[in-house]
Every structure is written in C-alpha cells, then in structure tokens.
Amino acid sequence: MIRDSRDLRKDPRDTRDLRDLRKGPEGAAVVVTGLVKRFGDFAAVDDISLTANKGEIFGFLGPNGAGKSTTIRMLCGLLSPTSGSATVSGIDVATHPEIVRQNIGYMSQKFSLYNDLTVLENLHFFAGMYSVPRSQLPSRISWAVEMAGLNGREKSMAGTLATGWKQRLALGCAVLHRPPVVFLDEPTSGVDPMSRRQFWELIHQMAADGVTVFVTTHYMDEAEYCNRLVLIYRGKIVASGSPLELKEGSMSGELLLVECEKVGQALELLGAAPFIQDAAIFGNALHLVVENAEQAAPGVKTLLAREGIAAGKVERIRPSLEDVFVSLTTPRPGRTP
C-alpha cells in the first residue's frame, strides 16, 4: 500500500498539477499550524500546531471533550476552522477540500455507515463514493471483507453486527480507495478488549504499508501503540513526543508507587506533605511524584505509620502515560497545565 504522488487522484475540475498545490515540508503527511475552533466563547481547539510524518501512527490523546474530534473534523474539511491552517499530504484543506477528501479515509467516532444496508452494499456504496476503478473493485471489496473478518457475513445488515465488526467494516469502507492518510476518531471506543487488539493490529499493518494513521483515543494503553503522540487537554496541546519521550521527559521528578490501605485518606495526607510534588490514586495504590524516590520512600512510610495506615510496597516505578497525563493536567501553583 505504499503510495507515491502519482496515486493521488486529481480532482477533475482542477486543471493544475497536484505538485503546484503541495506545500509544507517533504515527508510530512499532516501539518497543522495555529488551528483554532471557537463555538461562541468556547475555544474547543485552541491554537494547535503539529506535524505527522508519512507512515506514522500519530496518536491524539486526551479526555472526552478535549477537542480531539473537533480537530480531526477540521482536518477532514468537515468543520471550518476559526483560524489557522492545515495541510494533508501537502494540500491545503481549506482551499482544496475535495482533493483532500479523495486522499484521506475518515472514520467518525459514532458508527456512521448505513445500518439498513448489508456489509457488501455499504462497501460498494463507499467504493462508488471514492470512485474506486471498476477493474480494482472486486479485489478491493474482498480485501476489505477479509480485513474486517466479515467472511460469511457479507449479506448481514450492518446494523446487526457487533460493535467490533462494525468498526472494522467502517475502517474497510474508509480505506477502500487506498488513501495515504487515514483519520480514525476513537475507533475503539465501546469495543471489547479482544476486538480492540485486533483493530490495532490492522492499524499497524496499514502503517507498515506506508499509510499515515492519525488516531484519537482516550485509552492510555492504546496510546502506547503510537509512534508519536500529542496530549491534548482543554483544546491545547500539553505535551508531544514518542510514548517513551513523554514518559521520560514530561515528568518533573521520579515516580513512587505506594501500596497501602485507605488510599483516600493516604492521598490527603501525602498530598499535603512538602516533599511530595503530586499524588494520585491508581486503582488501590498511590502514585507520588517526588524529586528523588530513594530519599522520599522512608518519609512516606513514616507518615503513613504515624496515621496508622498499613503500607505495603513502596518503590520507584517507571511512569505510564496515565501518570504523565495526570501530572500534566493537574493544576498546581507555579505551573499552568
């Protein structure tokens, strides 16, 4: 599925050569500069800039309402930005939305295929919408059926499929025309863990074929599968980099895991301690951000013992993305998230 510029189908109404429309750095699939979207007074997306490279799995991570879907919709030309610009495969979304649409696949957060059409009918419809050449049609359709694992269900109504299958069918419909860039908006929300894993295997396969996958998620574990990530919070990018870079670089100190009873009470107690920068509950344990884990551990134990809270393991751990995220989005004096 490796693509070069010749594969970008031209909009027949546009007589200029695609190369003339291209701008931005070579090798960049998606370039976003100063993108802003306001709904009234509310800035859903507040001055976002980013670059996703070709063949990369680019993760867009953040809680619900952070502005992920709004951004992705602007990149697909579905929403017009208040200000800023975006290019996809070097083509400006605002000025040539139809050429961009021919070169992307989009999968919206909500299932938006036709429930009253069968699997095959949906595929044929979207193949038509993307004008997949007739000579390629049978092979593309059977490829999509295969990929989505829908063999034997070709004649089922899309509405009757389980969520995991629906999502894979939606992906199949979105990439029938072999787009070089694919936008997936929360593709795995509401999908069981098994199907989630299968879905991510598909994403990796596409990326291996040279497709740029721009994916949003609020699952922290999924973010680990991405080549590069940006964390978005309240419409702003709070951190970016590879998962490893984020984990290493975004935390101001070291991370201490504390297993103890009465985590709520312990959180209150430790959160107030001067040598602890940050504290958060993770399951039935606490994660503490401290300057030096070695030095802080005895102090933590003492504090807990004084209050009669039985403590188990107290040790330094490597931060997960969730830790990074909590650390970056918790407002603290002296730092704005």
Give residues in contact with another protein (CB under 8 A). 11-12, 73, 76-80, 97-98, 101-102, 104, 106-108, 110-117, 121, 124-131, 134, 170, 173-174
Rounded to a whole number of angstroms, the minimum distance from the CB of residue 108 to another protein is 5
Rounded to a whole number of angstroms, the minimum distance from the CB of residue 180 to another protein is 14
Structural element, H or E, at residue 256:
strand 254-260
Q: Which is nearer to another protein, 69 or 277 (CB)?
A: 69
Measured CA to CA, the distance from residue 6 to residue 70 in angstroms comes to: 30
Relative to beta strand 276-282, strand 285-290 is: antiparallel
Q: Which is nearer to another protein, 72 or 314 (CB)?
A: 72
Measured CA to CA, the distance from residue 319 to residue 194 in angstroms comes to: 25
φ, ψ for residue 216, nearest 5 deg: -105, 150
Measured CA to CA, the distance from residue 329 to residue 337 in angstroms comes to: 5
Rounded to a whole number of angstroms, the minimum distance from the CB of residue 207 to another protein is 20
Measured CA to CA, the distance from residue 318 to residue 323 in angstroms comes to: 9
Rounded to a whole number of angstroms, the minimum distance from the CB of residue 17 to another protein is 18
Q: Which is nearer to another protein, 81 or 164 (CB)?
A: 81
Q: Which is nearer to another protein, 62 or 77 (CB)?
A: 77
Q: Which is nearer to another protein, 76 or 223 (CB)?
A: 76
Pull the structure tokens for residue 307: 């209050």
Structural element, H or E, at residue 37:
strand 28-39
Rounded to a whole number of angstroms, the minimum distance from the CB of residue 105 to another protein is 8
